[in-house]
Amino acid sequence: MGFRSMEVENFSLVVIKKLKATYIDMSVISNFIWDAKQISAGFERIKFQHIKRGGNRVANLLATEGFWRKQDVWWIEKAPVVVQKVAKTDRQNIHHPS
């Protein structure tokens, strides 16, 4: 698709640290880390960022939606309405925490 940059957010600080590390990972998830690093090498810019679990509501919604559909679904530009609503709520909570 020609994407040159990507941002990866994850609520697991351990995973983010492993993705940022320069050493060879020998943990139980080393195959996943190695695969992710190989894929990320194809981008001009990649950012691995830790976020709190509550800040990952959009990703959780997409994963749940994909699970129930039992098929792969992609969107490139405009997100589905339900995702836009959750993202808007998340942005409001970031700027105006309760």
Amino acid symbol at 40:
S
**Helix axis angle, 30-40 to 13-20, nearest 10°:** 50
Tell me the Ramachandran region of residue 2: left when phi exceeds 0, alpha when psi lies from -120 to 50, beta otherwise. Answer: left
Produce one character per residue of 19-56: b if its CB has 16 or more CB atoms within 10 Å, e if not. Answer: beeeeebeeeeeeebeebbeeeeeeeebebebeeeeee
| Better-predicted residue by pLDDT, 53 or 18 | 18
pTM: 0.63
- The whole-number pLDDT of residue 94 equals 60
- The whole-number pLDDT of residue 69 equals 79
Amino acid symbol at 71:
Q
Three-state DSSP class for residue 29: coil
- The whole-number pLDDT of residue 95 equals 53
Tell how many helices (H) and how many strands (E) occur in the chain: 4, 2
User: pLDDT of 65-84, one tens digit each?
Assistant: 777 877 777 777 777 788 88
User: pLDDT of 1-49, one tens digit each?
Assistant: 678 898 888 888 999 999 999 999 999 999 999 999 999 999 999 999 8
